[in-house]
Structure 1
């Protein structure tokens, strides 16, 4: 009888711990999505966990970028690799000019790496 009570106690304890972890995970996920939804980011294609958007590029990357720009517009965010920062990809000269005019002061202080 004592073994049965010990088993039930362990089962209910494990079940309550599992439910609490799931609820905590959902709560954290919801707050993250709300904070990201407040940002006015351009559209981005779905990415994979480790490689980011690299799976969407074939041997001809310029054609892959063209296809993505037809689907997501002239401005989109891509991530190359897991820990890389997202990259803004602009595929229209007019939009690029507008960005350079609007954010001229912010871009003028940037130092670029010469390779």
Structure 2
């Protein structure tokens, strides 16, 4: 519990993705974005373009709950569960459709001057 209490939310989100992380470091493949947290039904059943946002919220609340539990011994899991539900609903309303990816800016090719 102590390790989890001192762990940042970004690392909590990646717990369980060690194999993918080492593959990324060794071969340069795609970087892992999630670990075991993505097995939660609320995240798996969400639309693909908002899963990462929901995973960040959940990882943050897990980190806060671990810190509060470790340092004060107080259980506030039910409160955080309600907050997560509200935040998931906000995210679903805010992002009903996938965001359009920005097209790369086409740079004007500079003509090279002839040098003597």
| TM-score bucket of the superposed structures, by smaller chain | under 0.3
RCO higher in structure (CA 8 A, sep ≥6) = 2
**Higher helix proportion, which one?**
2
TM-score of the superposed pair, with normalisation by structure 1: 0.23
Q: TM-score, normalised by structure 2?
A: 0.23
